[in-house]
Amino acid sequence: MHSISGQMSLFLVRYGEIGLKSDSVRKRFEHCLITNIEKAFIREKAECKVSSDRGHIYVAAEDAKVANLVLAHTFGVTSYSKVDLLSSDVDRICDYLKDWSQKKLKKGQTFAIRSRRTGKHAFTSQDVAVRTGDAIRLANQKKGIKVDLDSPDVEVYIEIRDNRTYIYTEKVEGPGGMPLGSQGKVVAPVSNNGDALACWLLMKRGCHPIVIPVGKTKSLGLLKRWSPSGELVLGPPMGRIDEKAIDDILDLAKMKRASAIVLGERERPFKKRDFPLFYPLIGLTDDMFKTLFKRMND
């Protein structure tokens, strides 16, 4: 397969909830996601070129490892794939897959073609699947390569969008959620890993946090990797979180025009205020907490 330009690697990036919004909101959120990706590449001091169409974002990167790191830590990305770019000519696609399969498929392996297309073409997705599947099978007869649509060893994805074809064999799961900064601001005191996880969950929903360091916390580093710039907006540090501290945090939240205060307690310990106090960890079992914390810490 061919890269988009010179030695650059091309990644097809998918988003989820954004695509359900109205056109104007979708465009705004998509722009936010693209901006966050570009900022993260700047943070890593790496080059990239980002483009988009409805439902997909395309990232051309000089360093594939950096691209994987960035996309795996960008909220709003549901999944991504390293792809190769071809024209929409089916004969060209078949020729490519013949060469690819002879190099990549091992003796006795099974495969399946998963094809889809968008735009006007003289062929259907099923036509593409049949022709490319036959091309791979016939090119590897001596190796005993067979088609298995139910549980193949290798899945070959072919996405034809107008005059371009994207081919890949792997989908890497992203963090999902909404692009950071697409929603309002929240204030998050962080004294431990639980507080950091609570803040992370609101970041995943698109909220921009103002983080208040509490005591000698070492948990801020867990959040920095999820910020496109690699930095956090910090509020004034505090010694501990108690009722008086919550009142001070409330004053800061109002001054900064934040929408809520995020707290990491798993049982609500503070009295009710005339202001939203979010407890996103309430109801989590220990196993659920560990699973989410591991994902945050990846």
Cα–Cα distance, 289 to 293 (Å, whole number):
6
Domains of the chain with CATH codes: 9-84 (3.30.70.1510), 88-168 (3.30.2130.30), 185-297 (3.40.50.620)
Of 44, 38, 62, 51, whose CA–CA distance to 12 is shortest? 51
Cβ atoms of residues 208 and 183 within 8 Å: yes
Cα–Cα distance, 225 to 132 (Å, whole number):
41
> How is residue 44 written in tokens?
């890593």
- Amino acid identity of residue 3, one-letter, is S
Does the pLDDT at position 20 exceed 70? yes
| Span of 171-175, 217-221, 276-280 with lowest mean pLDDT | 217-221
* Mean pLDDT over each residue of the chain, to the nearest integer: 93
Does the pLDDT at position 3 exceed 50? no
Cα–Cα distance, 15 to 80 (Å, whole number):
9
Q: Cβ neighbours of residue 58 under 8 Å, at least 6 residues apart?
A: 4, 10, 11, 12, 13, 50, 51, 52
Report the predicted TM-score, pTM, of the whole model to 2 decimal places.
0.90
Does the pLDDT at position 2 exceed 60? no
Cβ atoms of residues 30 and 77 within 8 Å: no
